[in-house]
Chains A and B, each alone.
Chain A
Amino acid sequence: MRDRISDLPDSLLLHILSFLPAKEAVATCLLSKRWRPLWPSLPTLDLKREDFQSLKFFHQFVDKMLKFVDLKSVKKCVLWLSYYETHEYFTPQKISRWINAMISTEVEHLELHLMLREGKGKGQGDYELPSSVFTANNIKVLKLSGATGAVTRWISSVTVGTLSHVNLPLLEVLHLRDVKFPDIRGLGMLLSACALLKHLVLTRLCGKFYCPLDIGGLNHLVTADVPQSLLPLKVFSNATFLRFHWV
């Protein structure tokens, strides 16, 4: 039987690999010489802690990917961090370094799912997202989530700190789940800056919000799944799908 798949052009093989977790996509380098040089041009990096036997291997793998992958070809980055074993802990510096490396690219789709364990040191309770996430001007899709029920002891909240500047001019899809806003102005500022936003999901946000938030823009909103009365009704004037839920 003929090997037909290896006859396909690089772009097609890379698109096939983009549907695999990064770990499996890289492993295809061992298939044959035809496949060996492909992985550094992967368009999607789907990095999941669960896919690795140990935290050490995961660290090595992510560090290596972000060093050797041609970041210009990466369009989508998905990072899943979860505390897998009791003593596992990601240092905030490490996570921020990975995130910054991802958004230094021309990435259009960024997903960060951070179910983190609290550090033991002082002030290592919450994990504050690097502000660079909110100035990544190529991003069209941004999905951020923390651990469900982050109030639980030992589990770290994912927070958005005080934002001095937001620049997400191309953002069309925004999902925030289990994210904490210690400074309530942050959410308003973020939403006001997304002029092209079409799809918005806000679930289980944590923070003292004065409802409705005073925001401008959002004239292009098509679908929204948001806490009841969090946003002024005028922003939904063009929406075709709306769901309100209790915070």
Chain B
Amino acid sequence: MSSSVEAITVLSSDGDEFKITVSAAKLSKPLNWMLEDVCFSDDCDEVPTIEVNSKTLVKVIEYCEKHAPRANSGASDSDAEELKKWDIEFMKMDVKDILFHILMAANYLHMEGLYDLACQTAADLMKGMTVSQIRKIFHIKNDFSSEEQEQLRRQHPGCSFD
């Protein structure tokens, strides 16, 4: 790869083109490998596809661009605080729709920070909720018979399910 390249172009699974700076792409292991393996210079036509849809990829790139300066150079405590606040705002999204895509994308792109952040967000939605409330939030279908449910309740005394 030419050292002069500052941004690369990638394709989403929907076929849309996106630009991502090299320093931001380094937050993802697979993207980092791509940077090393694939030719990204101007005379190279190859545009790698990332198996993430456009809507999700926009969010992932936004996250990477925001976090790249700190990941690459380290930062002060005040920056870390600011970034934490930014993360909270960033994750305020339609749970039923994009959170799952972000979880999958962070998993697929091996992005530890985003993976933790998205999992924490999903866990926060469950925290303090009863089993039936969690089912409602995530549209989980109860496929137990009433006998099976009774048995599970007996197996876990002290666990509050309701």
Contact = CB atoms under 8 A, between A and B. Distances in A.
Interface in A13-68: 15-20, 23-24, 26-36, 52-54, 56-58, 60-61, 64
27 contacts: A2-B139, A4-B138, A4-B139, A5-B140, A6-B138, A6-B140, A9-B107, A15-B119, A16-B119, A18-B123, A19-B120, A19-B124, A24-B128, A26-B159, A28-B126, A29-B156, A30-B152, A30-B153, A31-B135, A32-B142, A32-B143, A33-B143, A36-B152, A52-B158, A54-B158, A56-B158, A61-B156
Interface string B46-81: 000000000000000000000000000000000000
Contact of B103 (A12, A28, A56): A12
A1 interface: yes
B107 A27 contact: no
Most A C-beta atoms less than 10 A away, residue of B107, B119, B149: B119
A12 B142 contact: no
B99 to A, nearest CB: 9
Given A19-B119, A30-B161, A4 B100 contact: yes
B96 interface: yes
Interface of B, secondary structure class, is: helix
A53 B157 CA distance: 11
Nearest to A15: B119
B124 A33 contact: no
B60 to A, nearest CB: 16
A85 interface: no
Given A8-B100, A31-B140, A33-B144, A20 B159 contact: no
Interface string B136-148: 0011111110000
Interface of B: 96, 100, 103-104, 107, 115-116, 119-120, 122-124, 126-128, 131, 134-135, 138-144, 149, 152-153, 156-161
A35 B139 CA distance: 13
A32 B139 contact: no
Given A5-B140, A19-B124, A36-B152, A28 B158 contact: no
Contacts of A11: 107
Contacts of B159: 23, 26-27, 61
Contacts of A61: 156-159
Given A27-B156, A31-B131, A31-B135, A4 B96 contact: yes
A8 B107 CA distance: 10
Given A16-B119, A16-B122, A58 B127 contact: no
Contacts of B104: 8, 12
Contact of B126 (A2, A8, A23, A24): A24
Contacts of B160: 23, 27, 53
A12 B102 CA distance: 12
B150 to A, nearest CB: 10
Contact of A32 (B123, B127, B144, B161): B144
Nearest to B138: A5
B140 A30 contact: no
Q: Which 3 A-B pairs have the closest CB atoms?
A: A57-B158, A19-B123, A4-B100
A9 B126 CA distance: 18
Nearest to A22: B159
Given A3-B138, A3-B139, A12 B158 contact: no
A7 B104 CA distance: 10
